[in-house]
Amino acid sequence: MERTLVLAKPDAVQRGLVGEIISRLEGTGLKLVALKMVWMDTEMARRHYGIHRGKPFFDGLVQFITSCPLVAAVFEGPKAVEIARKAMGDTDPARAPSGTIRGDLALDIGRNIVHGSDSVENAEQEISLFFKPEELFSYERQIKPWIIES
């Protein structure tokens, strides 16, 4: 089953929006399989955002993401990567539609409150950066047939 990494970023922690972010993603029907608070260090941040190294916003992004603890979660389900990113909306909150997390709760691309993996491959790498295998839970939900047809 597909998994994706979700981060309620330091701005979400500061603004008291962690519960709302997790709640909106739970509401999609995706299954929460891991959750913890993490204070990223510079090395971890540079690894997580390695693809953006050299871009003008990179140093500010690393500074921001390490400035305060964040909350990391793993959600699981069919098309988890795509479903979670759709719930978050575009990277720039100004372009994110109403009804999405960023569209409703953020204003600035540099303070867009949430991260979601952008591919299944990247999700696997990102999850392994944040979580040990034993921190990912495997369990059944009785409600599953009411959320997933087969």
Using CB under 6 A, list all residues that contact ligand IDP.
52, 57, 61, 91, 109-110, 112, 115, 118
Q: How far is the CB of 34 from Mg ion (least distance, A)?
A: 19
Other beta carbons less than 10 A from residue 130's beta carbon? 19
Q: Do 94 and 102 form a contact (C-beta atoms < 8 A)?
A: no
Q: How far is the CB of 109 from ligand IDP (least distance, A)?
A: 5
Q: How far is the CB of 29 from ligand IDP (least distance, A)?
A: 22
Closest to Mg ion by CB, 118 or 124: 118
Stretch that binds Mg ion, among 34-42, 70-78, 111-119, 135-143 (CB under 5 A): 111-119
Enumerate the β-bridge partners of residue 32.
Answer: 75
Q: Do 39 and 83 form a contact (C-beta atoms < 8 A)?
A: no
Decide if 52 is catalytic. no
Q: Which two tokens stand for residue 122?
A: 């990247």
* DSSP-derived 3-state class of residue 104: helix
Residue 57 interacting partner from Mg ion, ligand IDP, none (CB closer than 5 to 8 Å by kind) = ligand IDP
Q: Do 60 and 110 form a contact (C-beta atoms < 8 A)?
A: yes
Which active-site residues does the annotation give? 115
